[in-house]
Amino acid sequence: MTGTTSIIRRSDESGISLLLIRLVLGGLFIYMGMNKVSDPVDFLRLIRAYGMAPETPPYLLNGTAIVLPWLEVVCGIALVLGLWVRGAAVLIAAMLCVFTPVVMARALQIHSAEGTPFFKIAFDCGCGNGVEIIWIKVFKNTGLLLLSLLALLLRSRRFGLAALLVRRRAADIGCCPGAPAVCCADEHDGDSEDLSAVPAGTTDGV
């Protein structure tokens, strides 16, 4: 058990694991979001069919069809760039937690009404990939949810824009390169920076 924990810790510190998760998860959400953006009318129709938003007043339904695809794209870009990783991961996890039960409920309705075997049910769930076999879709969504939780929990922020911005900010205020614990907030917490411990006088003239 200790050996496994050590491997996970080393993988986190290297930043490779989180980089791969960011690229896979972010790339998929950029792709799916852009597919929805390219055909907003079809996405609006699917949202109405699933009852995911009230039809009155109309702006709620229309707003959902407009905002959700762009939210997916923005979250995907944030993950790929390594910027606001935790916030993007939380939003993606929230979307998956909402959409996956809705798709599952729709599949169960079809199974109950038509008697179609559950593992043969397939339809366009509005995820941007066209018609999909639903049990496979639910399985994939569960995997994406696990990836988003890992992106939220892993601490390394190497290979990301956030870590680069923190280092540049530290350099701008005269942070000593040999003292990352003081003001560089190292790359394990790139979503936020702690400059409170900078020695007095290092910000003079900034």
Distance CA 160, CA 80 (A): 8
Distance CA 14, CA 183 (A): 21
Q: Model confidence over 144-197: pLDDT tens digits?
A: 999 999 998 887 777 777 667 777 777 777 654 444 443 444 444 445 444 444
Computed over its alpha carbons, how large is the radius of gyration of the chain?
22
3-state secondary structure of 124: strand
Which pTM does this prediction carry? Answer: 0.73
Q: How many CB atoms lie within 10 A of CB 15?
A: 22
Q: Contact, 87 vs 26, CB < 8 A? A: no
Distance CA 146, CA 151 (A): 9
> CB under 8 Å to 77, separation ≥6 — which residues?
26, 30
Q: How many CB atoms lie within 10 A of CB 72?
A: 25
The residue ranking higher by pLDDT, 44 or 78, is: 78
Domain ranges in the chain are 2-153, 160-206
Q: Contact, 162 vs 190, CB < 8 A? A: yes
Characterize the bridge pairing of strands 131-133 and 122-124.
antiparallel
Residue 56's identity, in one-letter code, is T
Distance CA 184, CA 179 (A): 7
Q: Read off the tokens for 198.
A: 């900078």
The residue ranking higher by pLDDT, 104 or 52, is: 104
E strand or H helix at 123, and its extent? strand 122-124
From 124, 120, 143, select the one nearest 36 (Cα to Cα).
124
Q: Model confidence over 54-73: pLDDT tens digits?
A: 777 878 888 888 899 999 99
- From first CA to last CA, the distance across the chain in angstroms is 49
